[in-house]
Amino acid sequence: MNFGTSNYATEYKIFVSSNGSTWTEVAYVTGCTGGRVESIFSAQNVRYVKITALKPDGDSQTGGQMAITELEVYN
């Protein structure tokens, strides 16, 4: 996943789902500083991927609104 250099989540979770209704958390990331980030987790038989930003959630924190410039998913 590639984030912008100024708009990235410093803390986020990655979820997967086979039906778009029931989600399973597969990664919890903290300390992200933007740029290219790789998250590796066990293979899943799913159709959907969801990324939820947790931080920054205040004005004094680095990052900004999360902007993903590229996302690749491999099985």
10-59 pLDDT, tens digit each: 899 999 999 999 999 999 999 888 889 999 888 889 999 999 988 886 77
> 């590639």: which residue's tokens?
2
Could you tell me if 26 and 15 are in contact, meaning their C-beta atoms sit under 8 angstroms apart?
yes
**pLDDT by residue (tens digit) across 39-51?**
988 888 999 999 9
- What's residue 17's pLDDT? 96
Token pair in block for residue 44: 């899943």
Percentage of the chain beyond pLDDT 70 is 96
Q: Which residue ranges make up each domain of the chain?
A: 2-70
Tell the burial category of 26 from Cβ atoms under 10 Å away from its Cβ (0-12, 13-18, 19+): middle
Neighbours of 69 (CB within 10 A): 13
* Higher pLDDT, residue 5 or 13: 13
Terminal Cα-to-Cα distance of the chain (whole angstroms): 15
The pTM for the full model equals: 0.85
